[in-house]
Structure 1
Amino acid sequence: MESNNRASSLESALWSAADVLRGKMDASEYKNYLLGLIFYRFLSEKVLSTFGKWAGIDQDIEKTYQEYMDPNFQMSGVTIRDSALEYIKNSLGYSIEADALYSSLIEKIRMHKFALDDLAQALHDLENSTIGQRSAQDFAGLFADVDLTSNKLGSSLSQRNQVISDTMLALNNIDLTAHNGDVLGDAYEYLIAQFASDSGKKAGEFYTPRQVSDIIAQIVTYKRDSGDAQIRSIYDPAVGSGSLLLNVGQHVADPSLVSYHGQELNTTTFNLARMNLMLHGVSYEDMHLNNGDTLSKDWPTDEPYLFDAVVMNPPYSAQWNNSDSRLADPRFRDYGVLAPKSKADFAFLLHGFYHLQEKGTMGIVLPHGVLFRGAAEGKIRQKLLEDNRIDAIIGLPANIFHSTGIPTLIMVLKKHKTTDDVLFIDASRDFEKDKNQNRLAEANINKIVDAYKNRQDVDKYAHVASMDEIKSNDYNLNIPRYVDTFEAEPEIDLEQVKNELADIDKEISENLVDFQSLEAQLVKTNIDATATKQGIK
């Protein structure tokens, strides 16, 4: 109950902050301000906690930091400002001056001394503090989408100043002490999901619902979640907000051993992913993200370029350049053909599979067309099956993604399987209604994961298909060919129906006799005679 109240309080504070910007711009735009400011508050809190560790104090940390950052402050005749900043930079990869902390800016707002230039300078100085550090590329351009000069914030400087001030004050109402240490990470995930929901397809493309992420995470970490077998590297070639990477990391025994790798084409979403990973405690040293086109230019090409787990929710049936020159690309050349120009689904799949370790597992979300479309896609699918690469096909319910209402599937692939078959799971009918969308409940998720682990036939739900069975279907993997969900109508007992009809006829006849008997007892009144007696004409 207490955790539910905390979550409700957190969401209320976040939505109050959103109210300041809602109506001024689309959710896909105002998310940049909310998430950027939340992230800056997070970075400020990290500076203070790191300084407290360096100074060996756990009380009055901010006040002490203000004192130590004064260039004139000395201890035993020694100015210690530089030593403190060096420790913070080495620990975090960046530093923030005392007067630029989020809390310091809040104090200026309350004293009516805040100007937008204060925030702009703070963001600029933070990025500059990473110069010469290994973290520089991870912080470069991180706040580019927090456009403080946008007229959508207001037509005048004073209006824009007020809007940003109100937004920062609303975000400052999030009580960090009332939550666990990942409160800002939770806030981020909540807002990302909310923006994806409110903005529809445009925003939904950067976010994979947690329920789907959870299924993929549990599958790719199965028997790889602890000890020497634990997954150490994860790769998402269409990383979006980074939520899928994070979910996989949360399903291993020691997340600190995991390195996170991903590529994202959209620069705004790329910035979102970097913030999201750092907000969830991923060190910049373990974060390897690239802003680029996954299909046009392979990345990464340097070590390590093979990963323990590959996870992906790429854009469905996207356009891509499938010129013949790509047939020499090591990602695609073994298949002899290329995915169609208007349907890049198999191009994304083969890219991810190319980067999978020999003993790794890959989970990718795809539209159902990849299971049965012919021509080049049919050849790629057949090659994957003949090489025994496809491990499982999991059909999901329709309308569970923010970006599309179509039914989707999770395809699981491995380079070294222990069985020569394919597991089919039809989970399309197991869901709960949630407003305008369907939602996978915990019981639905557990049922899918258990079926994957048990790898046995389950009536009207799961089937383990041999390669001979798949060949007999001409390598068509359409789920209804393997999982029969047809519910037969109950057989009709004609003799029983005949008897029931006879009983009904008998009852009707008896009722008719009773009615006629009652009718005969009725007294007919001569209306004309009665009227004459009463003198009515």
Structure 2
Amino acid sequence: MITSTKQKEQKNQLNTKLWSIANDLRGNMEHNEFKNYILGVIFYRYLSEKLENRVSNLLKEDNITYAEAWNDEEYTEELKEELLDEIGYYIAPEYLFSTMVNKITNTKDFTIEELSKAIGSINESTLGTKSQDAFENLFDDLDLESNKLGQKVEARSKLMAKVLSKIAEIDFSHEDSEIDVLGDAYEFLISQFASSAGKKAGEFYTPQQVSKILAKIVTMGKKDLKSVYDPTCGSGSLLLRISKEADVRKFYGQEVISTTYNLARMNMLLHNVSYDKFDIQNDDVLENPKHLGKKFDAVVANPPYSQTWDNSMHNDDDRFSEYGKMAPNSKADFAFVQHMIYHLADKGVMAVVLPHGVLFRGNAEGTIRKYLIKEKNYLDAVIGLPSNIFFGTGIPTTILVFKKCRETGDNVLFIDASNDYEPGKNQNILRDEDVEKIIDTYKERKAIDKYSAVATLDDIKENDYNLNIPRYVDTFEEEEPVNMEKVKAEIKELKEQFLKQDEDLEKILNELEL
């Protein structure tokens, strides 16, 4: 079975189950709140099963169950120490996901208070340890005391029992999974409920085909990366996509929205990234950057488009001060670019998704754009993507690629991929062949008629550093020349037809004596 077919099958199975769970929650809460409960329980199940698998290996030669070992103080202390060191947390047998599901299925004595204690015990197990930062407040959005689940404990218990039972049916076979289970779950929920949430879903999750383009570009020719960084990391899916292209020793990211920040940490752990292999922070990256001083081998982002920001507080900020002007208050697009370049290692590669306006808007943005090209010569490629491929926005977007040490320093590659996609009901879709064409063109740095062009720095200078893609990639289609003699003949024939119709009409009117 080819990968794309397998992906579709796995996605369909996942989406069917998620929709069924969402239907159970419908009427109890707003659509955008569904995901907090569904994803929180998915993650709880994953942590439980990961721990059970690890404990099974640890106790393999002892011929003893986890429950039996936990009742032995000496075993318990050794298990806690081992588990905290290897996976960063522990869960008592009574608080495992499988225990909860067994109670729901067999003994019928499950209560939501037990689930709450189980969730809380995970966080408590990490207090004072090296993994505390990775797990702290991780389940804050899973509010099991909310009246939205039901007014009474019995009602809340009944509803969450349904959720746990259906999540128990989801296949977590990560070894042969071709999809990002948590990320795809989030993407599906966003696609169904984004309009109700009133949020720009594209800011939280980057479609996997776009993530693939960014990941392949920043890892091209590299199999090992010391560090990767996403300053607006959302659910972390873009960072994780890079690890499918190269070995990543450590992931760094920052996310301003606490709910999404929690999801990013969940996503890291769910994808077997050890708690000490990622550093995800929760704050506004432009106002309170958490990784200043660090340089990264690969930097990627899909930041919120044309976001407002306060540029008056950053005149002496090393990230922005050398450009001559600050990005405007009304549009922080170039502020994100400047922040990312600040963190890019000398031999690193950076790829960022932005609205098309960054290519041609003037004033301060024009000054920054000119500085990046003329003074620094960091811009390596401009890639135009189709419109309507992100949740929550139909605008066309562009990928800008930057390098501080460019192999082809005398030119910039322009790609117009705006017409290559599969039309979709809600979003347009980049096909595998569309992605491959972009990557091959970037890798070979070749000019293709109506698709790509290699522009010299002088060409860009002549255009006053305007990067609008049609200035460089000629997509004009010539119309067939008009045969004027043929047109004259057709007009003459039409006139003759009209004259005959008039004569026929006059003849009929005369016969009727009108």
TM-score between the two structures when normalised by the length of structure 1 = 0.86
Residue 461 (structure 1) aligns with? 451
Q: Could you report, residue by residue, the CA deviation over 1:198-229 in whole angstroms, capped at 9, with x for unpaired residues?
A: 214443321011111111111111112x2xxx
Q: Which portions of structure 1, spanning 4 or more consecutive aligned residues, are displaced by more than 4 angstroms?
A: 4-7, 182-185, 495-506
Residue identity matched to 2:92:
E
Distance 1:95 1:215, change over 3 A: same
- 2:31 equivalent to 1:27: yes
Residue 209 (structure 1) aligns with? 207
Q: Distance in 2 between matches of 1:417 and 1:6?
A: 40
Contact kept, 8 Å, 1:265 with 1:294, in 2: the verdict is yes
Residue 505 (structure 2) aligns with? none
Q: Give the superposition deviation at 1:17.
A: 2.0
Contact kept, 8 Å, 1:11 with 1:187, in 2: the verdict is no
Question: Aligned to 1:218, which of 210, 216, 219?
Answer: 216
Q: Could you report, residue by residue, the CA deviation over 1:399-455 in whole angstroms, capped at 9, with x for unpaired residues?
A: 110021111110001111122111111111111111121111111111111111111
Which residues in structure 2 correspond to 1:2-401 (within 5 Å)?
Answer: 3=6, 5-56=9-60, 64-71=65-72, 79-110=74-105, 111-176=107-172, 179-181=173-175, 186-198=180-192, 199-200=194-195, 201-224=199-222, 226=223, 230-252=224-246, 255=247, 257-301=248-292, 305-323=294-312, 325-386=313-374, 387-401=376-390
Residue identity matched to 1:244:
L
Contact kept, 8 Å, 2:250 with 2:278, in 1: the verdict is yes
Distance 1:301 1:130, change over 3 A: same
Q: Could you report, residue by residue, the CA deviation over 1:248-287 in whole angstroms, capped at 9, with x for unpaired residues?
A: 11111xx3x4210000010100000000111111111111
Which residues in structure 2 correspond to 1:483-498 (within 5 Å)?
Answer: 483-495=473-485
Question: Aligned to 1:444, which of 415, 428, 434?
Answer: 434
Q: Distance in 2 between matches of 1:465 and 1:159?
A: 65
Distance 1:205 1:25, change over 3 A: farther
Q: Give the superposition deviation at 1:235.
A: 0.2
- 2:422 equivalent to 1:428: no
Residue identity matched to 2:344:
L
**Greater Rg, structure 1 or structure 2?**
1
Distance 1:64 1:455, change over 3 A: same
Q: Could you report, residue by residue, the CA deviation over 1:96-142 in whole angstroms, capped at 9, with x for unpaired residues?
A: 00000000011222222111110111111111111222110110000
Q: Give the superposition deviation at 1:456.
A: 1.8
Distance 1:475 1:50, change over 3 A: same
Q: Distance in 1 between matches of 2:201 and 2:61?
A: 43
Of the structure 1 ranges 475-484 and 137-146, higher mean CA displacement relative to structure 2 is found in 475-484
Residue identity matched to 1:233:
S
* Partner SS for 1:208: coil
Contact kept, 8 Å, 1:197 with 1:204, in 2: the verdict is no
Q: Distance in 2 between matches of 1:7 and 1:82?
A: 41
Q: Distance in 1 between matches of 2:56 and 2:176?
A: 19
Q: Give the superposition deviation at 1:483.
A: 1.2
Contact kept, 8 Å, 2:283 with 2:289, in 1: the verdict is no
Q: Give the superposition deviation at 1:84.
A: 2.1
Distance 1:394 1:184, change over 3 A: closer
Q: Distance in 2 between matches of 1:429 and 1:343?
A: 27
* Partner SS for 2:65: helix
TM-score between the two structures when normalised by the length of structure 2 = 0.90
Q: Distance in 2 between matches of 1:483 and 1:170?
A: 51
Q: Give the superposition deviation at 1:314.
A: 0.6
Gaps of 5+ in 1: 73-78, 513-537
Residue identity matched to 1:288:
D
Q: Could you report, residue by residue, the CA deviation over 1:324-382 in whole angstroms, capped at 9, with x for unpaired residues?
A: x4121110111121100110001011001100000111001111111111111111000
Of the structure 1 ranges 419-428 and 90-99, higher mean CA displacement relative to structure 2 is found in 419-428
Q: Give the superposition deviation at 1:28.
A: 2.2
Of the structure 1 ranges 25-34 and 360-369, higher mean CA displacement relative to structure 2 is found in 25-34
* Partner SS for 1:439: coil
Of the structure 1 ranges 262-271 and 472-481, higher mean CA displacement relative to structure 2 is found in 472-481
Q: Give the superposition deviation at 1:26.
A: 2.9
Residue identity matched to 1:105:
M
- 2:402 equivalent to 1:404: no
Q: Distance in 2 between matches of 1:91 and 1:182?
A: 23
RMSD: 2.5
Q: Could you report, residue by residue, the CA deviation over 1:140-193 in whole angstroms, capped at 9, with x for unpaired residues?
A: 0000000011122122222111111110011011244xx343759733122111
Q: Distance in 1 between matches of 2:348 and 2:181?
A: 32
Q: Distance in 2 between matches of 1:57 and 1:309?
A: 43
What percent of counterpart residues are identical? 46
Distance 1:159 1:279, change over 3 A: same
